[in-house]
Amino acid sequence: MVWKSVKRAIGVRKIRELLKEYYEGEVLDKLVAELYPLLDRIGYEGLEKVAGLCSQVAKDHSGRTAVNLLEQSPELIDRLLKYGDKELVMKVYGLCSPVARYSGGTAARLLEQSPELIDRVGYEGLEKVAGICSQVVQEDSFVAARLLVMGPELIDRVGYEGLKKVACLCTRVANDRRFIAAGLLELSLELIDRVGYEGLEKIAGLCSEVANYNGKTAVRLLGMSPELIDRVGYDALETVVGLCNQVAQEDG
């Protein structure tokens, strides 16, 4: 009984030391109490990984996100432990760290989705998705976050190389036209099925042209492009874009 009390006191003190730089008062007390049971599951080294990632997220001005992530850690880690041991847990948290350097919110989303991603594509698949995400997030965190949602389905359909190509294309478009990049990513599977990756690339270029004159028209064109291609073909879509540009220039 005495040993249990001593053990708990030592564990609580260690966790408090890990967290006290970013949290205090009732928030700190609550987090320490919630994280203490994890000592038996993943050890102190594992908790260091958890706290380290959440500290990175907090530095990204995402304090509330970091607290939520810490509060969700026990449940999240239980889910991860279904696929491996504490070493797997530490590796998953380690994968999220490079993403957190650029976007705490995207890193949190990657971590939250990691059990589903492992279930769908295995740990090696998660590793590849995280690698692509860590590259994309340096350019655009919004595209990176959407990529996490669509990643598994894109991998199933076009493989990792295809996923990388779509990610690069959407990132390139997002530099000038984020709203086009978002729609392009949402429609990527449908468009790849119809016109392949080269067609997807051309459609991105066409919509970016229209966006120079009218953003709303570009978004509508992107949304209608699968149906237009089915009805009139890609060449006719190019003609439609040319007409849109001509009208927009004359109106301007």
* Structural domain boundaries, residue 5: 1-107
pLDDT bucket at 18, cuts 50 / 70 / 90:
confident
Q: What is the 3-state secondary structure (H, E, C) of 135-198?
A: HHCCCCHHHHHHHHHHHHHHHHHHHHHHHHHHHHHHHHHHCCCHHHHHHHHHHHHHHHHHHHHH
Q: Minimal CA–CA distance to 79: which of 116, 107, 53?
A: 116
pLDDT, average across residues 62-91: 90
Do the domain assignments include residue 65?
yes
pLDDT bucket at 168, cuts 50 / 70 / 90:
confident
pLDDT bucket at 251, cuts 50 / 70 / 90:
low
Do the domain assignments include residue 95?
yes
pLDDT, average across residues 70-78: 92
Do the domain assignments include residue 44?
yes
Number of domains composing the chain? 1
